[in-house]
């Protein structure tokens, strides 16, 4: 395959309600899509970088810049391009995993479309549906939180994840447990604590949580191993796991009993697959994280989550959890599950009429 053209497309997507985490409050997204044409087929990728560098060092404007100036020119020079070689061709550019992941995803979509294969088939997915969990942001009050959780449970979500931060943790978890009983429940701190908070975090042990996600800093892998000895809630890593190497180190150190796999964070779906394989071989539980993706990223995440090692529900909610109008045909829950796409390619493509309404910028960047 050879890239013939690459288009960077920005879409503005308002969220149905503000989504507050310990690092930001999102009310709308400025999403970068990568559209490639090749001599065989076209493909779409989605960049998960947020507008500001508060979750990770990447941000959407930086991702567009590195794609235009460094990543696309490198890939355009390759004449026998495959999705499996994208990471190696882009490796001289340090970091920028979310930008690289978007480009690899677009090439993979084109390759699979040309071959008439779905992403699930390519991965060797073993399930036709995957259980969906939902991530619930930090709220202004406990009654507001309980209303939100009640709504998501009524919609069929099979697991609730509560965002926490100092001042919004034990009380919120306790209220949800008291009201909804023995539902599958987990928490996500997005690096908001330090090891000195261990005695406080230990109070969460009483609530039989599935896991606590990324309580400490991104680079504090050893400290997560220390924390894991001090609390009984299983420790799950998200931000710290930027590659299969990082996952291997975290497992060896005892820093992660569970790993959240996000393709964008680790540089693409192929690296995500390697982390799945590594965790499966080591008996580490994994689940598929979400980054407020449109239907494009959602489709691909659902296919990934259908691999056999994904043994916990993912953050793979329905399109309407975040967006009133998605850029693809909407993903809807069926008995709390998402149906794994079977169409060729990554599993979804943008609907032109909706794109026309939401696009803020389109830019062809190939020579
Ligand atoms: O379901 O797509 C979803 C969102 C799940 O909470 C979620 N994502 O820290 O995991 C996270 C958080 C996030 C969202 C992180 C956007 C970064 C960007």
Where residue 70 sits, what CATH number does that domain have?
3.30.390.10
- 111 CA → ligand 1 middle, Å: 28
Residues 171 and 222 in one domain: yes
17 in a structural domain: yes
Q: Give the residue ranges of DSSP H helices in 116-238.
A: 119-123, 142-155, 170-180, 198-201, 221-230
Residue 162 makes CB contacts below 8 A (sequence gap 6+) with: 136, 145, 172, 173, 176, 185, 186, 187, 188
Pocket test for ligand 1, best of 49, 51, 137, 291 (most atoms within 8 A of CB): 291
Query: Considering the domain boundaries, does residue 345 fall inside one?
Result: no
The predicted structure's pLDDT at residue 72? 98
Q: Whose CA is nearest to atom 18 of ligand 1?
A: 291
Q: Looking at the structure, do residues 168 and 64 belong to the same domain, yes or no? A: no
Atom of ligand 1 nearest to the CA of 239: 9
H-helix or E-strand containing 346?
none
End-to-end CA, the chain:
17
313 and 214 in a single domain? The answer is: yes
Number of domains observed in the structure of the chain: 2
Residue 310: its pLDDT value, please? 98
2, 100, 161, 163: the active-site residue = 163
Q: Which domain holds residue 235?
A: 120-339
Ligand 1, atom nearest to 163 Cα: 6
- Same domain, residue pair 192 and 261: yes
Place of tokens 């890239």: 3
Does 42 map to a domain? yes
Instruction: Indicate which atom in ligand 1 lies nearest the CA of residue 292.
Output: 2
Whether residues 74 and 93 fall in one domain: yes
Quick check: is 166 in a domain? yes
Q: How far away, in angstroms, is 201 Cα from ligand 1 center? A: 21
Is 172 within the bounds of a domain?
yes
Please check whether residue 52 lies inside any domain of the structure: yes
Are 173 and 221 contained in the same domain?
Answer: yes
Given a contact cutoff of 8 angstroms between Cβ atoms, the answer to whether 250 and 224 are in contact is: yes
Q: Whose CA is nearest to atom 17 of ligand 1?
A: 291
- Ligand 1 center to residue 306 CA distance, Å? 19
Residues contacting residue 319 through CB under 8 Å, at least 6 positions apart = 294, 295, 298, 326, 328, 330, 331, 332
Q: Whose CA is nearest to atom 9 of ligand 1?
A: 190
Please tell me whether residues 323 and 356 are part of one structural domain.
no
Q: Residues 68, 142: one domain?
A: no
Give the distance between the most distant pair of CA atoms in the chain. Answer: 60
Given 2, 161, 229, 262, the catalytic residue: 262
Index of the ligand 1 atom closest to the CA of residue 260:
10
Taking the centre of ligand 1 as the mean of its atom positions, its distance from the CA of residue 193, in whole angstroms, is: 18
Q: Whose CA is nearest to atom 6 of ligand 1?
A: 135
252 and 129 belong to one structural domain:
yes
State whether 83 and 24 are in the same domain: yes
Atom of ligand 1 nearest to the CA of 262: 10
271 φ/ψ sector (left φ>0, alpha ψ -120 to 50, else beta): alpha
Residue whose CA is at the smallest distance from ligand 1 atom 15: 291
State whether 101 and 135 are in the same domain: no
2 is catalytic: no
Tell me the three state secondary structure of residue 367: coil
174 part of a folded domain: yes
**Residues at CB less than 6 angstroms from ligand 1:** 21, 50, 55, 135, 188, 190, 238, 289-293, 315, 317
Q: What is the pLDDT along the chain (367 residues), one digit of tens a residue?
A: 999 999 999 999 999 999 999 999 999 999 999 999 999 899 999 999 999 999 999 999 999 999 999 999 999 999 999 999 999 999 999 999 999 999 999 999 999 999 999 999 999 999 999 999 999 999 999 999 999 999 999 999 999 999 999 999 999 999 999 999 999 999 999 999 999 999 999 999 999 999 999 999 999 999 999 999 999 999 999 999 999 999 999 999 999 999 999 999 999 999 999 999 999 999 999 999 999 999 999 999 999 999 999 999 999 999 999 999 999 999 999 999 999 999 999 999 999 999 999 999 999 997 5
Is the pTM for the entire model greater than 0.75?
Answer: yes
Tell me how far apart the alpha carbons of residues 222 and 211 are, in angstroms, rounded to a whole number. Answer: 18
**Given the CA of residue 56, which atom of ligand 1 is nearest to it?**
17
Asked if residue 241 and residue 254 are part of one domain, the reply reads yes
Q: Give the domain CATH number at 252.
A: 3.20.20.120
> 295 C-alpha vs ligand 1 centroid, how far in Å?
15
Nearest Cα residue to atom 13 of ligand 1: 291
Nearest Cα residue to atom 5 of ligand 1: 290
Bridge partner residues of 163 (DSSP): 188
Nearest CA to 30 out of 68, 69, 63, 72 is that of: 63
Q: Is 161 a catalytic residue?
A: no
For residue 347, tell me if it sits in a domain. Answer: no
In this prediction, residue 367 carries a pLDDT of 58
Q: Provide the pLDDT for residue 307.
A: 98
In this predicted structure, what is the pLDDT of residue 165? 98
């Amino acid at each position: 395959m050879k890239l013939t053209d690459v288009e960077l497309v920005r879409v503005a997507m308002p969220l149905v309600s503000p989504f507050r985490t310990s690092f930001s409050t999102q009310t709308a997204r400025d999403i970068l899509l990568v559209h490639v044409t090749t001599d065989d087929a076209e493909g779409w990728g989605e960049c998960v970088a947020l507008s500001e560098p508060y979750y990770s060092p990447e941000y959407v404007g930086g991702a567009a810049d590195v794609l235009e100036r460094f990543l696309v020119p490198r890939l355009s020079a390759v004449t026998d391009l495959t999705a499996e070689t994208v990471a190696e061709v882009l490796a001289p550019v340090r970091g920028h995993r979310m930008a690289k992941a978007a480009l690899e995803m677009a090439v993979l979509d084109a390759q699979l479309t040309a071959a008439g294969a779905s992403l699930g088939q390519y991965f060797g997915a073993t399930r036709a549906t995957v259980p969906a969990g939902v991530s619930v942001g930090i709220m202004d009050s406990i009654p507001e939180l309980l209303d939100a959780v009640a709504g998501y449970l009524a919609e069929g979500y099979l697991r609730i994840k509560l965002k926490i931060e100092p001042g919004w943790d034990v009380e919120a978890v306790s209220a949800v447990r008291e009201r909804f009983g023995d539902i599958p429940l987990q928490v996500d701190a997005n690096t908001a604590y330090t090891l000195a908070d261990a005695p406080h975090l230990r109070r969460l042990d009483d609530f039989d949580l599935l896991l606590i996600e990324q309580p400490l800093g991104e680079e504090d892998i050893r400290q997560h191993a220390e924390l894991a000895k001090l609390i009984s809630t299983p420790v799950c890593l998200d931000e710290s796991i930027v590659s299969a190497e990082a996952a291997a180190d975290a497992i060896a150190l005892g820093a992660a009993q569970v790993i959240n796999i996000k393709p964008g964070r680790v540089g693409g779906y192929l690296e995500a697959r390697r982390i799945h394989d590594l965790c499966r071989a080591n008996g580490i539980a994994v689940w598929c994280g979400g980054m407020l993706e449109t239907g494009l990223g959602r489709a691909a995440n659902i296919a990934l989550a259908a691999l056999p090692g994904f043994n916990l529900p993912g953050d793979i909610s329905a399109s309407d959890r975040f967006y009133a109008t998605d850029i693809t045909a909407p993903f809807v829950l069926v008995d709390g599950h998402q149906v794994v796409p079977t169409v060729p390619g990554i599993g979804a493509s943008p609907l032109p009429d909706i794109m026309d309404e939401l696009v803020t910028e389109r830019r062809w960047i190939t020579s």
